[in-house]
Amino acid sequence: MELNDKGFPELLKQGNEQAFEKVFTAYYPALHAYAFTIVADMPVSDEMVQNVFLKLWAKRDKLEILTSLKAYLYKSIYNECMDYLKNREYKNRYKAHALHNNKNLVSAEDAGGRVAMNELEKKLQNALNDLPDECRTVFQLSRFEGLKYQEIATHLGLSVKTVEAQMGKALRRLRLSLAEFISILIFFLWIH
């Protein structure tokens, strides 16, 4: 059976592993090269292609290919790469903003401030680790990856309402976990 055969996507929908393997083997090198032209990073290109194939298999029962399988895969790679670049840009802007704000808050000579910021980072990481898995994932995708609730819902296969509820739960638990430490930190910064 040829890959451009119109019946091939139907085999994928039915969960035919041989069909999936054939698509993967046939298209992986070209899709990887295409992803590299967009992201200019070999490991990231590999990740982008793997993500597309993982999503293809995970959502095979809802697969709707309106063009050819090849066009569908290339468009999926393009979208995956664009999402990656958008999120990378968001992270870079966030880091630059945080670095700028931290320079204003804590000078390089202020060892006590650096210790307090390091302690806050540890407390935050511990508080994040204490969150339930789904709750933590939703929080990280929203706050660290810059995804909107709809994007998170699609990515995780949840409803937007569930994402909103998990985000609210995460924020409440983090506020409770970090409230005492933040009060002490504010007091520390106020007296210095």
pLDDT digits (tens, 9 = 90+) for 90-123: 777 766 666 665 555 445 445 556 666 677 777 7
* Alpha carbons within 13 A on the beta-carbon side of 174: 19
Q: What is the pLDDT of residue 189?
A: 55
Instruction: State yes or no: pLDDT of 4 exceeds 80.
Output: no
Span 38-64, average pLDDT:
89
pTM for the predicted model, two decimal places: 0.49
Place 53 in a pLDDT band, splitting at 50, 70 and 90.
very high
Confidence of residue 48 (pLDDT cuts 50, 70, 90): very high
Measured in Å, how far apart are the chain's first and last C-alpha atoms?
74
pLDDT at residue 186, as a whole number: 61
Q: What percent of the chain has pLDDT over 70?
A: 76
60: nearest Cα among 20, 30, 28: 20
pLDDT, one tens digit per residue, over 56-88 is: 888 888 888 877 888 889 999 999 999 888 887
pLDDT one-digit tens code per residue, 150-168: 888 888 888 989 989 998 8
Q: How far is CA 143 from CA 46, 93, 117, in A?
A: 25, 13, 19
Q: Are 38 and 78 in contact (CB under 8 A)?
A: yes
Closest by CA position to 80, among listed 17, 156, 155: 155
The pLDDT assigned to 122 comes to 79
Average pLDDT score over the chain: 80
Domains contained in the chain, CATH given: 8-82 (1.10.1740.10), 106-191 (1.10.10.10)
